[in-house]
Amino acid sequence: MEIRCKTAEKDQLKAKPEDDSKLGFGDIFTDHMFLMNYEEGKGWFDPRIEPYQDLCIDPAAMGLHYGQEIFEGLKAYRGRDGGIYLFRARENFKRLNRSAARVCMPAVDVEVAMKGMKQLVLLEQDWIPRSEGTSLYIRPTMLATEPHLGVRPADEYLFFIIVSPVGAYYKEGLNPVKIYVEDRYVRAAVGGTGETKTAGNYAASLLAAEEAKKKGFTQVLWLDAAERKYVEEVGTMNMFFRIGEEVITAPLTGSILPGITRDSVITLLRNWGIKVSERSLAIDEVIGAAEEGSLEEAFGTGTAAVISPVGQITYKDRDYIVAGGEMGDLSQRLYKEIVAIQYGEKDDPHGWRERIN
């Protein structure tokens, strides 16, 4: 499929951030975007790159009413060698298509999406920041656009990709975050949409996150919806707990996101000969380990967050300090390894990285 490209006029181009070491997350958008449309019976058509602009959507667009919206998050990295690298990007589009199937949206052709994304990233390459820990965050998104108010899957969709130069997701950067174990609200139940990247999962998480933020926490740790007993994820990250010699993460039973960074961490740990279990982990086991001193580390993994150490867990109004409130050794080793692969500084035996320039 040919991708047509209409570039912005010189006077439309935006000023780039002056100091990219001060970048936050998700506030700055570049000069162009990728789009394509879908109609039932016609399939995807008109893949194109255009100047970044407001979308023109009918107020009755079904995605605005019934939540048929899915997205992905991945990054382009600027290596010190000048290379522009992607990390396991195809996995993101495969996951997008699994999300699409769950909420009755059409699959995209992974190769067309990859091509459009690469073309966009290359066009915007001067926006890719160079300071340590920065990257160009890529947000592929699909939305139901058919104007209709009956509840059923739409037959018109828009797919677009926008890109944003970013720094650390959390204001803490690599400093440990504090998490609040949520035992009242739930994010997702098995059988629901928790394993997809659909907007509703994030809407469901906001109230608990806001309440936790008021109490000084960075994020909430979700427990399972049925019993509020087992740890799940942190909404923007999958979670890992190192108890004694075992590293434990929740299994993919349908209510948590199958994170690509999660999968990479499991692979690296196994290669390093470290025991990793994908198993149900009761919050009581985590707290018991914290009390007896065997909770060595806890950390979150995600595209936006990379590896984010947890320095404090609060459950039923009691605080438990993890790894002395510092970043643990294993979290540090994982962070260094993943970042070195992503930025083209280390061998990539798993073939995760792709250089695009």
Q: Which residues are at the interface with ligand COI (CB under 6 A)?
A: 73, 236, 302-304
- Of 113 and 243, nearer to ligand COI (C-beta) is 113
Query: At 311, is the secondary structure helix, strand, or coil?
Result: strand
Least distance from ligand COI to the Cβ atom of residue 237, Å: 7
- Of 66 and 170, nearer to ligand COI (C-beta) is 170
Dihedral over alpha carbons 90, 92, 96, 102 (to 10 degrees) = 110
State how far the Cα of 268 lies from the Cα of 307, in Å rounded to an integer: 13
Least distance from ligand COI to the Cβ atom of residue 197, Å: 6
> HSE (CB half, 13 Å, CA atoms) of 116?
32
The Cα-based distances of 335 to 240, 265, 342 in angstroms read 13, 9, 10
Least distance from ligand COI to the Cβ atom of residue 188, Å: 14
- Of 283 and 305, nearer to ligand COI (C-beta) is 305
Angle formed at CA 276 by CA 271 and CA 280, multiple of 5 degrees = 155
State how far the Cα of 95 lies from the Cα of 105, in Å rounded to an integer: 13
Measured in residues, the chain has a length of 357
Least distance from ligand COI to the Cβ atom of residue 281, Å: 22
- Of 236 and 255, nearer to ligand COI (C-beta) is 236
**In degrees rounded to 5, what are phi and psi of residue 330?**
-70, -40
- Of 95 and 242, nearer to ligand COI (C-beta) is 95
State how far the Cα of 61 lies from the Cα of 143, in Å rounded to an integer: 9
- Of 73 and 129, nearer to ligand COI (C-beta) is 73
Answer whether 242's CB lies under 8 Å from 328's CB.
yes
The Cα-based distances of 103 to 53, 57, 62, 199, 253 in angstroms read 27, 20, 12, 11, 18
Least distance from ligand COI to the Cβ atom of residue 122, Å: 21
Least distance from ligand COI to the Cβ atom of residue 304, Å: 3
